[in-house]
């Protein structure tokens, strides 16, 4: 029994534990030292009687069970909590896209703002009914250009804008009143004309220069 107690103590002491195990293990170690060295080495006939032997065995068994129980109960308990890694405030990894702000606001757009308004241009059909406009040359700034076309002539007319063979827009064909046409134009030269059959060929044509 003495030999088993002395060999069991180091095993239990190696287990991960807390205060309860330390107390039980300490008592077991002290009991083993007392029985084996303090008393056993001085008294060869120890424990001497059957009752004494049973008492020593009983105390040893109780202490061993206490040490084993506390070792089992505390072995799975972590001694320290793992530090959680911070998840905010760290810069994004190289090459990673930037995250949106925490308040949900959209990141500022990098798309260029649209060009400033190009302004307004006025044009009119010949009021006498001749196939001509009031001007052959018009000019405007690049951007949003609004062309106001007046037709008080007795003939139906319109004002159509094209770049090369591509028609960009046109007013309705009308007489008596004013209509407008708004286009987003880049710098360059454009043609304006009346698309009523025969009117362009008769002279209703001009050039719009956008700068």
Q: Do residues 195 and 131 both lie within one domain?
A: yes
104 within some domain: no
Residue-averaged pLDDT of the chain: 75
Q: Do residues 16 and 70 both lie within one domain?
A: yes
Distance CA 152, CA 130 (A): 12
What pLDDT does residue 86 have? 45
Residue 134: give its domain's CATH number: 2.60.40.420
User: Distances from the Cα of 156 to the Cαs of 126, 152, 170, 177, in angstroms?
Assistant: 11, 9, 14, 11
Domain span holding position 68: 2-75
Q: Do residues 54 and 130 both lie within one domain?
A: no
Confidence of residue 65 (pLDDT cuts 50, 70, 90): confident
**How many structural domains compose the chain?**
2
Q: Which of 13, 42, 75 is the last residue of a domain?
A: 75
pLDDT digits (tens, 9 = 90+) for 73-127: 766 544 444 444 444 444 445 444 444 445 554 444 444 344 445 789 999 999 9
Question: Between residues 201 and 52, which one has the greater pLDDT?
Answer: 201
113 within some domain: no
80 within some domain: no
| % of the chain beyond a pLDDT of 70 | 59
123 within some domain: yes
What pLDDT does residue 56 have? 72
Q: Do residues 126 and 193 both lie within one domain?
A: yes
Question: Between residues 30 and 99, which one has the greater pLDDT?
Answer: 30
- Indicate the helix (H) or strand (E) that contains 22: helix 19-33
What pLDDT does residue 112 have? 39
Q: Which of 47, 75, 103 is the last residue of a domain?
A: 75
**In the Cβ-directed half-sphere of 184, how many Cα atoms lie within 13 Å?**
3
pLDDT higher than threshold 50 for residue 182: yes
What is the reported pTM? 0.46
Q: What values do phi and psi take at 190, rounded to 5? A: -125, 160
């Amino acid at each position: 029994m003495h030999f088993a107690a002395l060999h069991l103590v180091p095993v239990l002491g190696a287990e991960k534990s807390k205060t309860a195990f330390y107390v039980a293990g300490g008592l077991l170690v002290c009991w083993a030292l007392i029985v084996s060295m303090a008393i056993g080495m001085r008294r060869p006939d120890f424990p001497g009687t059957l009752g004494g032997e049973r008492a020593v065995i009983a105390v040893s068994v109780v202490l061993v069970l206490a040490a084993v129980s506390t070792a089992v109960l505390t072995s799975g308990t972590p001694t320290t909590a793992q530090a959680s890694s911070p998840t905010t405030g760290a810069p994004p990894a190289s090459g990673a896209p930037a995250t949106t702000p925490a308040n949900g606001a959209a990141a500022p757009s990098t798309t260029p703002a649209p060009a400033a308004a190009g302004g307004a241009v006025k044009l009119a059909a010949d009021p006498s009914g001749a196939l001509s406009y009031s001007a052959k040359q018009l000019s405007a700034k690049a951007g949003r250009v609004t062309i106001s076309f007046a037709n008080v002539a007795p003939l139906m007319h319109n004002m159509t804008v094209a770049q090369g063979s591509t028609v960009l827009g046109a007013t309705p064909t009308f007489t008596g009143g004013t209509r407008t046409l708004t286009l987003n134009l880049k710098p360059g030269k454009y043609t304006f004309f009346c698309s009523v059959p025969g009117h362009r060929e008769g002279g209703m044509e001009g050039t719009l220069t956008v700068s």
